[in-house]
A and B are shown apart, each in its own frame.
Chain A
Amino acid sequence: MPPSIHPVDLISALRQKHLTPAIVFLTSRRACDEAMEAFDHANFVLPTVRQEAIAKALEQVMAQHPSIAEHPMIPIVQRIGVAAHHAGHLPSWKIAIEELMRQGHLDAVFATTTLAAGVDFPARTVVITQSSIRKSRDFTDLTAGEVQQIAGRAGRRGKDHVGFAVITPSPYIDLSVLTKGLTGQPEAIDSQFTISYPMVLNLLKAHPHEHIQGILAKSFAQFQLNQRAEVLEQKLDVLHSKMEPFGPRVCTDWITQWHTFDHARRHRHTRHPTYRAEPPEIAARLPFLTPGRVVGFNRGRGIVLRQYRSKGQRNSMLTVLRPESAVTECPVTSIREIYDRTYDCPETSAYPWCSTDTFDRLSHQLEELPLRLPLLPILVATDGEPLPDAIVQSLEDFPCPTCPSRSACHKDFLTASRLRQEQHRHTKSIQALRTSLWHRFQERVEVLQKFGYLTLTTQLTAEGEWARLIRIDHSLLITELIRAEAFTGADPSLIAGILASLAHDDDRPGAFPRISPGLSSLLGQVRKLAESLSPYEDPPLLRADVAALVERWVADPTLTWIGLCKLTTMAEGDIYRLLARTLEYLSQVQTLNATHPGLADTAAQAITAIRRGVLEELP
């Protein structure tokens, strides 16, 4: 048995059961083209009347789009009444096929799933041969929404009583993806809101900074974040009611009290061996010198990151975070004060003994500490007394051992502290959900300030005023290139080439046409700048091959479309799309005519040069 049905057999089967016209969705353009080739030697010819009808319909399209007159597929389409339709074709050819299909002249069209969205192109039957789709470089399962879009092309209103979605297997097909897709609900829309540099500039151009948070709050992203926050708030309510029995007791915050007490109690025994060596006033401090504790030195303050013993040292050692993110190692004896203040500091196993996020937060918290902090009273056993050891004394410092609610606290502590932790976690998440967009915006603002597009008071600078007009991907790179005068004096072909290397929407490189030294060195400059901007903007996949291709098209007005196509392995539909996208980028640069008249003018020249031949005729 063949791994998938032969295209000729497929179409014959559909015809025989009156299931035509049909759209056959295949995995790739190549598969579509190969399916067409399969008919080359097949004994599969339409009656003359139908062939003539196709010829006539094509002539009508040709009147508007002369470029299809020579299309190599015309004879076979006429002969067999079957065609291919995919992104590798010129729009004019696709229009012709769509028209033939709409008028009912074709029995089948081989297409890629890109057709599934947006083009008005229904049929009686849809044939599905795959369960995944190529996106970027990889294959992804079709979503239920996509399966339904594809299957939904079957059954034309007014032309069919019923439509058919027929699955025919090919290797790698996962039938359950398709059956689930057909019978299931389409996926919910999830906001894909991102905050881009041009968005920030344009918002700040039109609105004062203090209004922005309100504007971001209108996004669907925030709407959905709020929905999630509400769910958490409900959970929080439940937690609150669960916490009720654990309200204030003899002390208001008994959970923390008990926690500290319990902690000290537990650690008393394990520490004995090491602590024996320390003088009592030092030993008494050790239990408090835990990660996150704020301590005072002769000069300045710090936050403990770790306590450890080191061979050559008599005393226990501390790793301490000092101002300006400095990290120092010091013996506990160098500590002057222990403050009644600790911060969260989950320990990790490697330097600096906490995660980078925690480290950054602690550094920040250290800078923000108030001048005065309450000291932690630590009771020290007086010299010479043999036992009880210092810790026991400090334990007695806690009210807990004699407290009437001691047993209740002991019993409830685990549950209560777990609930409270959960409360903290939810509260934090809710806050994050409510403010994340705003933070994101602020981050962008800071970058734009750093580069001089915004003033410190978030006004647009002169640079920001024009930069906001560049509203395409890689906007920061493009505006920085303009500021670096990378385009000054460059030919239209050079600018078009560079913009093409950014504007393409495909990551499969084609064959390499010869590249001019000017373009090659400019591309090098762009690449360098893009790398240096990479902390702020994802670097583009700069495709030198498409840059060279567009450069040639603009620089050489005698180059024909066929000549251009011969320079590369790219399909003509891809070349067309590349040029169309480059036009879009150029027209954005052209809007800078007030501030950069020379550049805008060069862009305008490039636009005129691009629009010829096939590009002028279309759409």
Chain B
Amino acid sequence: MTTDELEKLLAQQPVAVLHRLARGRVHRHFRAGKRRLIELLLQHSSQNRAGFESDLLTLIGERQANPPSESSRRPGAPPIPHKKVVTKATDSDPSDPPVSLTEWLQGIGVPTPQPFVQDPWQIEALAAVNETDVVISVPTGSGKTYVAIEAARRAMEDNRSVIYTSPLKALSNTKYAEFSKIFGQDKVGILTGDRQENGQAPLLVMTTEILRNLLYDAASGQIDVRLDTLGLVILDESQYLADPERGVVWEETIIFCPSQARLLLLSASIGNPQDIADWLTSIRTTPCRLVRHSKRTVPLRAGYLHPNGRLTPLFRTLGIPQGHPSHLHPEAKHLFIEYEEETLPSGRPRR
């Protein structure tokens, strides 16, 4: 496709399709007009034109396969009757009475202290990381740090060195302090863009960019003993792989990670962890193990607080109804409509 053709094709698409394409590509797409959006998309796609085109064609194909009812209707044509009026009954049956506020608020409190017991996924991950690369995709607050610490401990007991990277300097500093407390000052070092301490320690905390640079230097023949004995590389918050500016650094790091070192990727839930694992399997010497689950350890409930101070559950169900965004609590729904009517009398103002 030539740029002109691509531009023309984009211009023919409804804005909704452009916005879907813009997700993850263009930061400023939300309020951009159609022309500007096309410009930004073209600009961005120069890096990965082929991928962009194929995404576009897929989206167009999808739309042709199941056209959205409104845009496919020609002005004169009779409306297409809606077939899916009745949603299928599920665990959160909308005909059940909605949860009450009292029920919703029940159970608040501090659990009695429990002895520490590893979660099954933690055991699984730790067993696997002895033998192979591991990708962990579990919700926020599940206890990924525990896996990192234990894996690091075992590698160090084996006289192999460990590198832990995080995307943020603040997080690197916190982890440096935390690891120093656990393993002792002399066992832990830190290397970030503006801080170097104890650079020869067996456990090094660094930003991912620094590790990438070390790997490039080593590849070009600079001798680095830290990499020779490297047994484990932990990449925390590895969902940064999708960061528009910095994601490439994670890819470089993974591609050039020495083969004798195990990779341990920690991430909050992501949509395609299996792809990441398959990718690692395809480029590394051992098949990668994926450890994933999406159930939160501490259950989560959602609520709606009206500006007048009134609190109600947000959904009809006690927990969050996975896959059913429209199962709103009638009261929350009512209050929110009222809110919109009062604050936006003449349609939605633009920012």
A is bound by B: yes
Q: Give the interface of A toward B (CB within 8 A).
A: 1-5, 9-10, 13, 17-19, 91, 94, 117-120, 122, 124, 127, 132, 135-141, 143, 145, 148-149, 151-169, 171-172, 175-176, 179-180, 182-194, 196, 199, 202, 205-207, 215, 218-221, 223-225, 227-228, 231-232, 348, 355-358, 429, 432-433, 436, 440, 468, 471, 580-581, 583-584, 587, 619
Docked CA distance A192–B239 (Å): 12
A91-B170, A169-B307 known; A190 vs B242 contact (CB < 8 Å): yes
A164-B301, A166-B311, A355-B2 known; A223 vs B23 contact (CB < 8 Å): no
- Establish whether residues B241 and A140, one from each chain, have CB atoms under 8 Å apart when the complex forms: no
Cβ-based interface call for B247 (8 A): yes
- Establish whether residues B297 and A202, one from each chain, have CB atoms under 8 Å apart when the complex forms: no
Taking the closest CB of chain B, its distance from the CB of A106, in whole angstroms, is: 16
- Establish whether residues A157 and B271, one from each chain, have CB atoms under 8 Å apart when the complex forms: no
Against A, the Cβ 8 Å flags (1 = close, 0 = not) of B149-167 are 0000000000000000011
- Establish whether residues B216 and A183, one from each chain, have CB atoms under 8 Å apart when the complex forms: no
B 305-350 contacts with A by CB, 8 A: 305-309, 311, 314-315, 320-326, 328, 336, 339, 342-344, 348-349
Instruction: For B278, list chain A residues within 8 Å (CB).
Output: 223
The segment out of B77-85, B103-111, B126-134 that lies at the interface is B103-111
Q: Give the interface of B toward A (CB within 8 A).
A: 2-5, 23-24, 27-32, 47-51, 53-55, 57-58, 105, 107-111, 113-114, 139-143, 166-171, 173-174, 193-195, 209, 212-213, 216, 219-221, 237, 239, 241-245, 247-248, 251-252, 254-255, 268-272, 275-276, 278-279, 282-283, 296-309, 311, 314-315, 320-326, 328, 336, 339, 342-344, 348-349, 351
Q: List 19 A-B contacts (CB under 8 A).
A: A124-B108, A136-B27, A138-B27, A162-B299, A169-B336, A169-B343, A183-B325, A185-B271, A186-B271, A187-B24, A191-B251, A224-B51, A228-B51, A357-B2, A433-B50, A471-B216, A580-B193, A583-B194, A619-B169
Instruction: For A2, list chain B residues within 8 Å (CB).
Output: 307
Instruction: For A356, list chain B residues within 8 Å (CB).
Output: 2-4
Docked CA distance A188–B272 (Å): 5
- Contact check: which of A182, A191, A196, A358 meets B241 at CB < 8 Å? A191
- Contact check: which of B141, B242, B270, B305 meets A166 at CB < 8 Å? B305
A155-B298, A355-B4 known; A167 vs B304 contact (CB < 8 Å): yes
Instruction: For A185, list chain B residues within 8 Å (CB).
Output: 271
Taking the closest CB of chain B, its distance from the CB of A122, in whole angstroms, is: 6
A118-B168, A179-B314 known; A168 vs B50 contact (CB < 8 Å): no
- Establish whether residues A152 and B23, one from each chain, have CB atoms under 8 Å apart when the complex forms: no
- Contact check: which of B58, B221, B248, B271 meets A188 at CB < 8 Å? B271
- Establish whether residues A179 and B271, one from each chain, have CB atoms under 8 Å apart when the complex forms: no
User: Which chain B residue lies CB-closest to A126?
Assistant: B300
A94-B170, A119-B171, A153-B140 known; A193 vs B251 contact (CB < 8 Å): yes
Taking the closest CB of chain B, its distance from the CB of A158, in whole angstroms, is: 7
- Establish whether residues B51 and A168, one from each chain, have CB atoms under 8 Å apart when the complex forms: no
- Establish whether residues B194 and A152, one from each chain, have CB atoms under 8 Å apart when the complex forms: no
- Contact check: which of B27, B272, B343, B348 meets A3 at CB < 8 Å? B343
Taking the closest CB of chain B, its distance from the CB of A470, in whole angstroms, is: 11
User: Which chain B residue lies CB-closest to A619?
Assistant: B173
Instruction: For B213, list chain A residues within 8 Å (CB).
Output: 471
Docked CA distance A154–B184 (Å): 32
Instruction: For B53, list chain A residues within 8 Å (CB).
Output: 429, 432
User: Which chain B residue lies CB-closest to A98?
Assistant: B174
- Establish whether residues A148 and B114, one from each chain, have CB atoms under 8 Å apart when the complex forms: no
A3-B343, A190-B242, A223-B282 known; A152 vs B139 contact (CB < 8 Å): yes
A118-B167, A138-B30, A153-B140 known; A221 vs B300 contact (CB < 8 Å): no
User: Which chain A residue lies CB-closest to B28?
Assistant: A138
Docked CA distance A84–B60 (Å): 46
User: Which chain A residue lies CB-closest to B237?
Assistant: A118
- Establish whether residues B300 and A165, one from each chain, have CB atoms under 8 Å apart when the complex forms: yes
Docked CA distance A436–B45 (Å): 12
- Establish whether residues B248 and A155, one from each chain, have CB atoms under 8 Å apart when the complex forms: no
Instruction: For A219, list chain B residues within 8 Å (CB).
Output: 251, 255
Ranked nearest first, the 6 interchain pairs of A and B with the lowest CB-CB distance are A152-B140, A155-B298, A584-B193, A192-B247, A188-B271, A357-B2
Docked CA distance A436–B322 (Å): 38
Docked CA distance A156–B51 (Å): 40
User: Which chain A residue lies CB-closest to B92?
Assistant: A183
- Establish whether residues B107 and A17, one from each chain, have CB atoms under 8 Å apart when the complex forms: no
Instruction: For A138, list chain B residues within 8 Å (CB).
Output: 27-32
A191-B251, A223-B282 known; A168 vs B306 contact (CB < 8 Å): yes
- Contact check: which of A122, A162, A355, A584 meets B301 at CB < 8 Å? A162
- Establish whether residues A1 and B311, one from each chain, have CB atoms under 8 Å apart when the complex forms: no
Instruction: For B305, list chain A residues within 8 Å (CB).
Output: 5, 10, 13, 127, 166-168
Docked CA distance A368–B313 (Å): 71
Instruction: For B167, list chain A residues within 8 Å (CB).
Output: 117-118
- Contact check: which of A161, A176, A583 meets B107 at CB < 8 Å? A161
- Establish whether residues A202 and B193, one from each chain, have CB atoms under 8 Å apart when the complex forms: no
- Contact check: which of A167, A187, A220 meets B251 at CB < 8 Å? A220
Given contacts A167-B305, A356-B4, 13 further A-B contacts (CB under 8 A): A2-B307, A94-B170, A145-B271, A155-B299, A157-B298, A168-B306, A183-B324, A189-B271, A223-B282, A224-B51, A231-B58, A358-B2, A619-B169
User: Which chain A residue lies CB-closest to B49?
Assistant: A436
Docked CA distance A56–B254 (Å): 44
Instruction: For B109, list chain A residues within 8 Å (CB).
Output: 160-161
Instruction: For B221, list chain A residues within 8 Å (CB).
Output: 206
- Establish whether residues B298 and A167, one from each chain, have CB atoms under 8 Å apart when the complex forms: no
Instruction: For B276, list chain A residues within 8 Å (CB).
Output: 189, 220
